[in-house]
Structure 1
Amino acid sequence: MIPVRAAGRSETGLVRAQNEDSMLLDDEGSFWIVFDGMGGHQNGAAASRMAALAFAGEPLPADLDPAIERFAEQIQLVNSQIQAEAAAQGGGTMGTTAVGLILRGREFAVGWVGDSRAYIMRRGGLFQLTVDHTHVQDLIDEGILTPADAIGHPMSHVLTRALGVSPELQVDIIKDEIEPGDRFLLCSDGLSGPLSDPEIRALIEADCPQSAVDALIERAYAHGAPDNVTAIVIEIGAF
């Protein structure tokens, strides 16, 4: 069995009154996921918590492709549940992003909706695995903005996809093989927003996943932590 170590932490930050992020670490099921709630303090927290509880109560299958299929189905189910809850509360905005990692044998899959991110640290390089579902990312894809222009853009947090916002929801999935020494980072934009990629790369190399998580969140606080901050680091051991 391939050795895996994981650690996670979620903090309110220095500006927000409440933590609207949620996370799930299922080490036994080799599945980890981060949610970033939206729609105001109570609604955002409720949406992300509803999503985390739904995944906690529904273990994913043992094989990768069925696990991916179940993951996508569960995202769609939670999407409907959040919409129903928002309607029951009078139709206010209520939603959450999601980014999850599934490990099965020597393969992994990442699935996401929104701008919570997954990174991989491999052979000394840091690579972003996800593509943000935001208006600004669409402008970058269309060549209207450069990545440099997007830094600090006033519309950088305008999402084009999130659970609970629309009846139709597309889940993006990538899959690949793991290598010994890989480290994955799942995080809300409260971490990826304040920290540059070079900062993330340097801090994720800490001695163990818990130290990496703590270092990353402490650096977000050093940058003012304007949003809730959540990070999970998963390390693949030798095999």
Structure 2
Amino acid sequence: MNDVALPFESFGVSHKGCVREHNEDSYLLEPRTGLWAVADGMGGHEAGEVASASIVDHLATIGIASSAPDLRARFEDRLSRANAEIRGISESRGITIGSTVAALLAMDGRFACLWAGDSRIYLIRNASISQISKDHTEVQELLDRGMISAAEALTWPRRNVITHAVGVSDEFVIDFQQGELMPGDIFVLSTDGLTAHVTDAEIEAAVVSATPQAACENLLETVLTRGGTDNVTIVLVKIKKGRNGQSLHPDWSGAEGEGR
């Protein structure tokens, strides 16, 4: 999907993979409102699909914000509504369901990344990739505490246990990072079905010289060729040009790199 009226070029793909019967991922591209998101549902028996769809459906109602802080406030409000809806569905079905979320907000020369769970956000700038998000997983907490090594984390038996998600409790945790947009920046949002099969270096190589559509399709093909053990969703956002080189709103009502 492209939007030539704004300095963003974006595209998204989603696939159930080679093993799963259902695709419980969802994604959203809203370049006119400055919002892109991926969500990875959990719960099985199609319940995860309901959870991720709830997040995307609520985020799609954000509309045009008046400022960057307003856009972030609208995002958090819609996510809170989705959390309440998912909680209601869980109670009615007598099961626990939920969803990760990873989102990019962009407005007035600035970006904000917000996430819960292990869906990731990468930034490729000057042909170098960096992971903006930090996984909310048991294995990441063990790494942070120095209890296991990076090598051990790759084969840790509970490496997919998520510590934060939307819909699993009345209160949810969303982490936040912000920064200044630069021409040529490329953001990659993905569920863990991508990173289970493709390295950061391979992601970088796939996106630096390709259109968002070609990069998404090539990355998806790589995942499926390697077995596609999970649902996979990929969203790419490329900044085509700056807006007068200025940031009209210097922050998103928080200090640089603030966590929430």
Matched-pair contact (CA < 8 Å) for 2:41–2:52: yes
Trace 1:101-120 onto structure 2 (pairs within 5 A). Answer: 101-120=104-123
Matched-pair contact (CA < 8 Å) for 1:60–1:71: no
TM-score between the two structures when normalised by the length of structure 1: 0.96
| Alignment-derived partner of residue 215 in structure 1 | 218
Which of 59, 81, 93 does residue 55 from structure 1 map onto?
59
Give distance in 1, aligned partners of 2:139 and 2:8: 35
Measured after TM superposition, the shift of residue 194 of structure 1 is 1.2
Give distance in 1, aligned partners of 2:215 and 2:45: 28
Measured after TM superposition, the shift of residue 205 of structure 1 is 1.9
TM-score between the two structures when normalised by the length of structure 2: 0.88
Runs of 5+ consecutive residues of structure 2 not aligned to the other structure: 243-260
Matched-pair contact (CA < 8 Å) for 2:6–2:31: no
| Alignment-derived partner of residue 237 in structure 2 | 234
| Alignment-derived partner of residue 34 in structure 1 | 38
Matched-pair contact (CA < 8 Å) for 1:60–1:70: no
- 1:14/1:84 CA distance change after superposition, 3 Å: same
Deviates more, 1:95-104 or 1:53-62: 53-62
Calculate the aligned-residue CA RMSD, in Å.
1.3
| Alignment-derived partner of residue 81 in structure 1 | 85
Runs of 5+ consecutive residues of structure 1 not aligned to the other structure: none
Asked whether 1:131 is paired with 2:116, we answer: no
Partner-residue secondary structure (3-state), 2:46: helix
* TM-superposition CA deviations, 1:111-144 (whole Å, max 9, x none): 0010000000001110000000000000011011
Matched-pair contact (CA < 8 Å) for 1:2–1:236: no
* TM-superposition CA deviations, 1:21-79 (whole Å, max 9, x none): 00011121121000000000310011111111111123252311121122122222211
Give distance in 1, aligned partners of 2:121 and 2:107: 17
Matched-pair contact (CA < 8 Å) for 2:62–2:75: no
Asked whether 1:157 is paired with 2:172, we answer: no
Matched-pair contact (CA < 8 Å) for 2:18–2:228: yes
Give distance in 1, aligned partners of 2:82 and 2:235: 21
| Alignment-derived partner of residue 16 in structure 1 | 20
Q: Aligned residue pairs: how many?
A: 238
Partner-residue secondary structure (3-state), 1:214: helix
Give distance in 1, aligned partners of 2:161 and 2:66: 36
Measured after TM superposition, the shift of residue 95 of structure 1 is 0.6
The list of structure 1 runs, each at least 4 consecutive aligned residues, that deviate by more than 4 angstroms after superposition, is: none
Give distance in 2, aligned partners of 1:152 and 1:204: 27
The one-letter amino acid of 1:38's match is M
The one-letter amino acid of 2:109's match is R
Matched-pair contact (CA < 8 Å) for 1:47–1:96: yes
Deviates more, 1:132-141 or 1:166-175: 166-175
* TM-superposition CA deviations, 1:182-219 (whole Å, max 9, x none): 00000000001211111111112242100010111111
* TM-superposition CA deviations, 1:87-127 (whole Å, max 9, x none): 011x2121100000011021000100100000000011100
